[in-house]
Amino acid sequence: MIRSVVRGIGSALPRRIMKNADFEGMVETSDEWIAQRTGIRQRHIAADDETTASLGEAAARAALANAGLTPDDIDLIVLATSTPNNTFPATAVEIQNRLGMRHGFAFDMQAVCSGFVYAVTTADLYIKGGLAKRVLVIGSETFSRILDWSDRSTCVLFGDGAGALVLEAEEGQGTIADRGVLAASLRSDGTHKDKLYVDGGPSTTGTVGHLKMEGREVFKHAVGMITDVIEDVFAQTGVSADTLDWFVPHQANKRIIDASAKKLGIAEDKAVVTVHLHGNTSAASVPLALSTAVADGRIKKGDLVMLEAMGGGFTWGAVLLRW
């Protein structure tokens, strides 16, 4: 059977780093509160000339270089983002243009923090369906543009950045010994809309709006939702917490990551944690964490890697792949 195998990976971060202490003059908060409640120490914040498209382009170019490919080799770009450059056209098409691609097709996916997990799953289906041989899957966000910078309960949590994978069709045996995407489980439930949303949009207010979150409510649901989809993937594949090599979760809060790993019986040293460096970068957080663990030599060819995310909607999901 056809498998979607990772051929390259890349990432990009805005130049400016904002430390927790930099908030102390802006809102009533402290480095200690932020670090203790979330694990976050710093985040990158985009300058005016850094956008979801420019960061996504930079991550895509890095992934292509890592794969030893050029834009000519790509058939499809799937961009996961909730902070597009414009309401339309899709920022994926803008990235396609920036890469000089005059062939193939590109579109955006909107599943908030779960966007990258949804996008990998979608790319896998396009590859398996024969519509694309090589896909650039990008998560790129500039959440700093939709934050209420006077709301201490949200503005300290998020950051900007981008990460990208090149997925390529490869013949596999149809067993979990294959490289590539092995299984996925996706969910959404709109009854939770009011717990995490942006209070604007083209069809309602005509404005972009600002992020609103009932943090405690999101926290309450997060661990159960994350562990449900991972257990579904375990059941589909026969993989267990013991046989898994790496757990690459959405980077929203260190306490959610720790509690999920504990509930699943995943050893602490298998969890890739970058929330202290990047904050919550929504759809970019999983590929940024993957990039970090590949670059430092932790994730190697043949390793079994579980990706998971949960976010606004609510949306949530998990993907198991062999690197």
Q: Catalytic amino acids?
A: 113, 250, 280
What phi and psi, each to the nearest 5 degrees, are found at residue 129? -80, -5
Given a contact cutoff of 8 angstroms between Cβ atoms, the answer to whether 11 and 62 are in contact is yes
Nearer to ligand ACO, 6 or 284 (CB): 284
Q: Under the criterion CB under 6 A, does residue 147 sit at the interface with ligand ACO?
A: no
> What is the C-alpha to C-alpha distance for residues 226 and 306, in angstroms, rounded to an integer?
11
CA torsion sign for 148, 189, 191, 109 is positive
50 to each of 11, 47, 56, how far by Cα in Å?
14, 5, 10
Could you tell me whether strands 42-45 and 76-80 are parallel, antiparallel, or unpaired per DSSP bridges? unpaired
Q: How many residues bind ligand ACO (CB under 6 A)?
A: 23
3-state SS class at 293: helix
Given a contact cutoff of 8 angstroms between Cβ atoms, the answer to whether 11 and 287 are in contact is yes
Q: Find, among 80, 184, 63, the residue nearest to 134 by Cα.
A: 63
225 to each of 4, 187, 214, 318, how far by Cα in Å?
26, 9, 17, 10
CA torsion sign for 230, 235, 237, 238 is positive
Among 135, 252, 271, 284, binds ligand ACO (CB under 6 A): 252
Among 41, 98, 104, 153, binds ligand ACO (CB under 6 A): 153
Q: Under the criterion CB under 6 A, does residue 222 sit at the interface with ligand ACO?
A: yes
Nearer to ligand ACO, 31 or 170 (CB): 31
Nearer to ligand ACO, 31 or 232 (CB): 31
Among 103, 190, 206, 216, binds ligand ACO (CB under 6 A): 216
Q: Which stretch binds ligand ACO (CB under 6 A): 127-135, 148-156, 166-174, 236-244?
A: 148-156
Q: How far is the CB of 255 from ligand ACO (least distance, A)?
A: 7
Given a contact cutoff of 8 angstroms between Cβ atoms, the answer to whether 5 and 30 are in contact is no
> What is the C-alpha to C-alpha distance for residues 320 and 238, in angstroms, rounded to an integer?
11
Q: Under the criterion CB under 6 A, does residue 33 sit at the interface with ligand ACO?
A: yes
Q: Under the criterion CB under 6 A, does residue 156 sit at the interface with ligand ACO?
A: yes
Q: How far is the CB of 36 from ligand ACO (least distance, A)?
A: 9
Among 4, 42, 251, 282, binds ligand ACO (CB under 6 A): 282
Q: Under the criterion CB under 6 A, does residue 152 sit at the interface with ligand ACO?
A: yes
Enclosing H/E stretch for 278: helix 275-278
Contacts of 246 (CB under 8 A, 6+ apart): 270, 272, 293, 298, 299, 303, 304, 305, 306
Q: Which stretch binds ligand ACO (CB under 6 A): 31-39, 99-107, 224-232, 270-278?
A: 31-39
Q: Under the criterion CB under 6 A, does residue 196 sit at the interface with ligand ACO?
A: yes
Peptide bond into 249 cis (omega under 30): no
Among 172, 279, 311, 317, binds ligand ACO (CB under 6 A): 311
Binding map of ligand ACO across residues 81-120, x = CB under 6 A, - = no contact: -------------------------------xx-------
Among 52, 140, 280, 292, binds ligand ACO (CB under 6 A): 280
Nearer to ligand ACO, 105 or 219 (CB): 219
Q: How far is the CB of 250 from ligand ACO (least distance, A)?
A: 7
Residues that bind ligand ACO (CB under 6 A): 29, 33-34, 37-38, 112-113, 152-153, 156, 196, 215-216, 218-219, 222, 252-253, 256, 280, 282, 311-312
